[in-house]
Each structure stands twice: as structure tokens, then as C-alpha cells.
Amino acid sequence: MSKASDLSHHSISSRLDGFRNLEPHERLALVAEIAGLTDADQKAISGMDALPIELANGMIENVVGKFELPLGVAANFTVNGRDYLIPMAVEEPSVVAAASFMAKIVRDCGGFSTSSTTPIMRAQVQILDLKDPHGARMRLLEQADALMALANSRDKVLIGLGGGCKDIEVHVFDDTPIGPMVVLHLLVDVRDAMGANTVNTMAEMIAPEIEEITGGTVRLRILSNLADKRLVRARVALTPDALSTKTLDGAAVARGIAEACALAIVDPYRAATHNKGIMNGIDPVVLATGNDWRAVEAGAHAWAARSGRYTSLSRWEVASNGNLVGTIELPMAVGIVGGATKTHPAAQAALRLMGVTSAKELAEVTVAVGLAQNMAALRALSTEGIQKGHMALHARNIAIMAGAKGEAVEVVAKAMSAAGDVSVDRAKEFLSQAYLSGPHIAP
């Protein structure tokens, strides 16, 4: 995008009144108009042969077809003063609705604030067969400048963009199952890339020189998905009034959210589910934009366990003025160049829908979605309980399983939710009643 189009995109509003009541093609037309998507982008996002089988066959091995997930758009997001439409590829009911609802509450309180570190990725080079591992470490550090220069010698484009290998660490493991071991880390600024290919190539390049310097044998040469120097943070502050419900005072809701988070902080059994809820928001955005959600998941959970005990990725606190303050910090290795982000037409269209122009911006918006999803889950748990809202949306899946089609899906789903009985048997019962009461909703 040019700077002009960049500015025009960010003059959009992510507040989409009545969006949920539109048909899918109407929703697509609306967001396409707002985001300025081309006809090709609309076709790609709609899933109408977005990924030709010939292109899929070139992306991975042994291709026999394609696998699709629903692609929704989360509305209402304001991040650092800018509005965003968020593409989310996910199969779980309530995720997109919950993120959109929380974003609406947050936008009325100023939106999400985010920040991030430089996009530094690590490459690890494992060195074995050393009699003097600590001596080898010192020899490597003495040659750090030469090793970094060698690592940077191939990728002139990255260096020209201000990236490249910026530092070297050397770690000694005196006692492992195979004896002493030295592991050299290349710390590489990968700019707008996820960075796996870049750092792996650098590690391969310097391996022979490392063997020459140390007299050891190099084994593994591979990136680390614990991107602990590529951190992204998001923060919200919500007034008690913004949190009030029909039956609960906002101060009580704020206290309930903080209390629910406290359990995830101290108990790994709760933290696993708590953090899964955060990833419910993050993974769909990562997936929709063609990024590696397994790498993001691995980094997030390793970060959550960095103290030696698995804990919550987020913190929710009640400030002295009564506001509920939510914060999150985790590694976020995503890119907008290379990989599927450049080969998959739907991923490219999703990035244009968001209007992001850097990996930093994509990462920060994605983490804001994770914090919104976390807030939605904790708010539900501390108020009406998680099942009520979730099952109301899940009822549509159950109605479809029972054979409902077209308008009958919504009719049967609403009837089950109202009855408090979301099951296939009850759906079939309501479906037969719907069939008898009006042919316009017949299955």
C-alpha cells in the first residue's frame, strides 16, 4: 500500500451496526467497500476457489485437495487509535462474536494500547565433542563480529532494510545425556518476515566456521520458536460503568474478572484453559493471514512456563480508581512477507482487509484480539457462566446436525436456547414443529 492508501484505510470505522443480521454476501460487500478490496480480494476471502489446486499442490506435499474453515470478520476494534476489521478463520462458535463484543466495550474506553520490541528471532547451533566447552565459548565470543559478518553476508536485502544478525550468545550445558554441550544463538532482526528461513540459512552458513573455531562437531542448526526477544504487549483500561450488566454492578464484574484471573496465575490446570482462550483470539488471525499458528502457539506456551511453572499469559487488576486494567505480553513471530502470506491469495486479501503494513502492526493487533477474547471468557465466567452464551451460538451447529437448513437453522437454534435444552433430539423435535408450522422454513 502507498502511504496515501494507508492513511485512507485507517480512516475507516470498525463499528459495523447490524453486521450480524446480514447475509454472508452482504457482509462481504460491506467490509469490501469499507476496506477498499478488489473483486479478486473479495473472491479470495469468500473462499470461491481461493486456493487453486495447482497452487495448493506447490505449497505442501502429497496434495489431494483443500480444507476450509469459516472466515469471519471481528468488528469494533480500535488499536492505538486506529480502527481495524479483523479476519478470523476458526471453527468454534462464539469466538468472533465474543471478540467483537468485547472490542465494542473497549472502544468506548479508548480502545487497546499496544507496544512491541524489535523483531528478533533466534537461531541455535548445537556444538558437541568438546573437551573444553567453556574455553570454546570464549573463543566463539572472541570471533563474534566475524561470525555475525559471515551470517549477514548473503542477505543484502534484509541488511538494507535495517535487519540482520545483531548479536551472538553462547550457552554452555555442562551436564546433558550425551555429555557437555555448547549452543550458540544468533539473534537476528528479521524485519517484516516471520524469519524461520532467514535464521535457519544463517545458522547453516556459519556452521563450518564454528567447527573450525571450537574443534567440535556441529549438529542441530535451527530456529527457536521461543521468540523471547520478539515480545508484543497489549493493554486495556475499563471503567466500572462500561462493565455493568442488567443484573450486576460494573465494580462487581471487574472484581470477578480479577478473581478469575488470579486462579490462572497460581494454578496451571486453570492456566492451560485460560491461555487456550487467549489463543482462541490469536490463532484465527494468525491462520487467516497465512502465518504459522503452531509456531505462535509453541512460543506462547513456552513463555507462559518460563519461570518453571506454567501460568497465565495475561493479568487483570482493579486499579485504585476502580478501573479494570488488563495486560498481556507474549512472543509473536508473524510476518507479512514470505511463506503462505505471499502465496495464498486469501491470506494476502486478509492482510489487505486489516490494512496492516508491517509485521509489527499485525502482531500488535493480533495480541489485542487475544486480550479481547480473554476478557470475554473471564467476563462470562464471572457473570452468567461460560455455557449460556456459548451454547446459544453452538445451538446453530446442533440444529444443522439435526437436519435444519436455511431459515430453519436460526428458528430451531433460538427455540433450543429459549428452552435451555441444546441437543440433537430436541432440535429434531423443534424442526418437526417448524416444518408443520410453515413451509417457508421447511428443512
Q: Which residues pair with 331 in a beta bridge?
A: 231
| Phi-psi map region of 75: left, alpha, beta (phi>0 left; psi -120 to 50 alpha) | beta
Using DSSP's 3-state secondary structure scheme, residue 97 falls into helix
**Cell numbers 563474534 label which residue?**
144
Catalytic-role residue among 10, 92, 129, 204:
92
Catalytic-role residue among 292, 329, 361, 364:
292
Catalytic-role residue among 43, 104, 166, 276:
276
Q: CB-based burial of residue 255 (10 Å sphere; 0-12 exposed, 13-18 middle, 19+ buried)?
A: middle
- The type of residue at 419 is A
> Which helix H or strand E contains 187, and what residues bound it?
strand 181-189
Residue 275 grid cell: 491461555
Cα dihedral 211, 226, 346, 337, rounded to 10, equals: -50
Strands of the sheet with 113-116, listed across from one edge: 113-116, 231-238, 324-331, 314-318
Q: CB-based burial of residue 211 (10 Å sphere; 0-12 exposed, 13-18 middle, 19+ buried)?
A: middle
Report, in angstroms and rounded to the nearest whole number, the Rg of the chain calculated over CA atoms.
Answer: 25
C-alpha span between 410 and 44 (Å, rounded)? 27
Concerning whether 390 is annotated as a catalytic residue, the answer is: yes
Catalytic-role residue among 301, 390, 394, 428:
390
206, 147 contact by CB (below 8 A): yes
Q: Which residues pair with 84 in a beta bridge?
A: 77
Using DSSP's 3-state secondary structure scheme, residue 25 falls into helix
User: Would you list the DSSP string of 260-312?
Assistant: HHHHHHH-HHHHHHHHHHHHHHHHHHHHHTT--HHHHHHHHHHHHTTTSS---
Concerning whether 276 is annotated as a catalytic residue, the answer is: yes
Backbone angles phi, psi at 14, to 5 degrees: -90, 5
> Which helix H or strand E contains 121, and what residues bound it?
strand 120-128
Concerning whether 61 is annotated as a catalytic residue, the answer is: no
Q: Which residues are catalytic?
A: 92, 276, 292, 390
